[in-house]
Amino acid sequence: MTVGIIDYGAGNIRSVVNALKGLDVRVHISSDPEVLSMTDKLILPGVGEARSAMEALYRTGLIPWLRSSVQPFLGICLGMQLLFDRSTERSTDCLGVLPGTIAIFNSGKVPHIGWNSVEHDSSDPLLSGIRSGAYFYFVHSYRASLGDFTLGRTSYVEEFSSVVRSGNRWGVQFHPEKSGDDGFRLIKNFVDLC
């Protein structure tokens, strides 16, 4: 089993790699579509802001490849947000895998930082063995609305999507690699998919 970590010059790559240790997987960190296409699964970690991340992905030639790739994919934090059509953060067009616009929280203190619960009633394999209401670690100012793609939801100022899915692409708004046992379980579930 090989997991490709998409390197766009930012992101929490080291902590994601550390979380994958002990799962008997090989990890390839790359921005080269040819290298990443040889992996079994893909993770797009996320730290930073939408415009810079999309510009970095554009420079590497990854955008058209990511839109058409068939490997199971997990986007983390900003990596999840980039799956949507666009972000109001510097008016950025994103990957367009999921419908909708990522927007800043309507009110309240931003960023949303700290532990918060994820409610779900899903039998999705990504959430297998994780109880509804489990706590995960969040750091973000922008959020996805609820939709048909929503697997998990969290409330902070307003309710938003904290776990999403479209086909073989999943996204989580929180940082599973910083979320203790439940976060490790989610990463293991992703590795075990298919």
What pLDDT score was predicted for residue 9?
Answer: 83
pLDDT band for 194, please (50, 70, 90 cuts): low
pLDDT at 67 over 90: yes
Please give the backbone phi and psi of residue 100, each rounded to the nearest 5 degrees, phi first.
125, 175
Mean pLDDT score, 166-170:
97
Lookup: tokens for 15: 């902590």
pLDDT at 187 over 80: yes
What pLDDT score was predicted for residue 18?
Answer: 92
Q: Which CATH superfamily is domain 2-192 in?
A: Class I glutamine amidotransferase (GATase) domain (3.40.50.880)
Q: Strand 2-6 vs strand 26-30: parallel, antiparallel, or unpaired?
A: parallel
Q: In the chain, what are the domain boundaries?
A: 2-192
pLDDT at 147 over 80: yes
Mean pLDDT score, 124-141:
97
d(CA 191, CA 24): 10
pLDDT at 131 over 70: yes
Mean pLDDT score, 154-165:
97
Lookup: tokens for 127: 């959430």
Quote the DSSP letter at residue 110: S
84-87 sheet: strands from edge to edge: 92-93, 84-87, 98-104, 142-143
Q: Angle of helix 180-192 relative to helix 13-20, nearest 10 degrees?
A: 70
d(CA 110, CA 117): 17
Summary mean pLDDT of the chain: 95
Q: Which residue has the tokens 């209401």?
A: 133
The DSSP H or E segment spanning 132 is none
CA 39-139-42 angle, to 5 degrees, is: 5
Per-residue pLDDT tens over the stretch 26-56 = 999 999 999 999 999 999 998 889 999 999 9
Per-residue pLDDT tens over the stretch 99-117 = 999 999 988 789 999 999 9
Which residue numbers are catalytic? Answer: 77, 175, 177
What pLDDT score was predicted for residue 110?
Answer: 93
pTM of the model: 0.96
Per-residue pLDDT tens over the stretch 49-60 = 999 999 999 999
